[in-house]
Structure 1
Amino acid sequence: MTFYTLQYLQNHRDVNQILLYVLGGLGAIILVVALWLYLKNRFETKYRDLSIIMVLLMLLLFGLNYSTLEQHKSQSLSSAQVEPFLRSVAREKGIKVADVAINSTTLTDGSIVKIKNKYYRVALSTDRSSYTLERTHVIAKKITVKKGA
């Protein structure tokens, strides 16, 4: 069973966003260079062909990224709820946020929270504005905690 700390969740989200921006920016730069070379040397068709290929590749990349972006946006909204939840649990128990971990990247009813060496099941209200922690025991012997770097 894998648990995630607040620092890991924050770093993981930032890396995914940076990767999407870098890929989009790199594709846009290649497209601009190919179009500039084509306009400079109109008689050489290799630049025109390269420009067309890059436009098609960028359209494909934007289509894939749009789908991923919509999925990422809904996942970010769900994972954004985890951060205040972990802070609230740490404040309630009087411990550091680094000592609290959750077994899911999104806040769901029935998630398991690891507080130091104890485990609690989360029961959320219907509007997700309150929660109850119920002591539980984990059967899984292999437990890893992913901490942010």
Structure 2
Amino acid sequence: MTFYSYSYLKGGQTNWGIIKIAVISLLALAFLVFIIKYSRNKWDLKYKDLSIILGTLLLLAVAIQYSDFTNLRTASVQSGQLTVVIEKSAKKLDIKPESIAINDTSRNNDMLIKTPKGYYSLVFNGSGSEFLLSKVDLYEPDVTVVGE
């Protein structure tokens, strides 16, 4: 069973966004260079073809970046909700939030948390504003914690 640490959920951001933006910038710059070369040399069709190819790649890269951005925004909201749940659980159990790990990255009704005091089950009410925290015993747990 995989658990995710509080610091993993809190950090959650990666550097891939910077790399993607750099690639998009390079594509846009190359696209502009070939458009300028084509406008100066109207009879040289290789620049027109290269401009079309780079323009298509640029549109594809921007579409992928937009999709990743919306997915990242959704994941960030869900991680924020989980960090609040971890902080409330830590307060109820009188431990530090950094010592808690949770078994899912999106909130659902059958979640487990791993603490130094043992494993606990989280059951949310209908609106998701409150939860029940009850101690559970796992039979032969095979646990890995991501983010430690």
- State the 1:117 CA deviation: 5.0
User: Which structure: larger Rg?
Assistant: 2
Cα deviations across residues 65-94 of structure 1 (Å, max 9, x unaligned)? 333333333232222101111111112211
Q: What percentage of residue pairs aligned between the two structures are identical?
A: 26
State the 4+ residue runs in structure 1 displaced beyond 6 angstroms: none
- How does 1:129-140 map onto structure 2 within 5 Å? 129-139=129-139
For 2:67 and 2:118, the matched residues in 1 are separated by: 39
| In the alignment, structure 1 residue 53 sits paired with structure 2 residue 53 | yes
**What secondary structure does 1:83 align onto?**
helix
**What secondary structure does 1:128 align onto?**
coil
Distance 1:33 1:57, change over 3 A: closer
Question: What's 1:20 paired with?
Answer: 17
- State the 1:63 CA deviation: 2.2
Question: What's 2:82 paired with?
Answer: 82
- How does 1:1-149 map onto structure 2 within 5 Å? 1-11=1-11, 13-15=12-14, 18-40=15-37, 42-43=40-41, 44-116=44-116, 118-139=118-139, 141-148=141-148
Name the aligned partner's letter for residue 109 of structure 1.
N
* Normalised TM-score (structure 2): 0.83
Mean CA deviation greater in 43-52 or 106-115: 43-52
Q: Contact 2:7–2:98 at 8 Å: present in 1 too?
A: yes
Gaps of 5+ in 2: none
Gaps of 5+ in 1: none
**What secondary structure does 2:19 align onto?**
helix
Distance 1:20 1:138, change over 3 A: same
For 1:133 and 1:93, the matched residues in 2 are separated by: 9
**What secondary structure does 1:7 align onto?**
helix
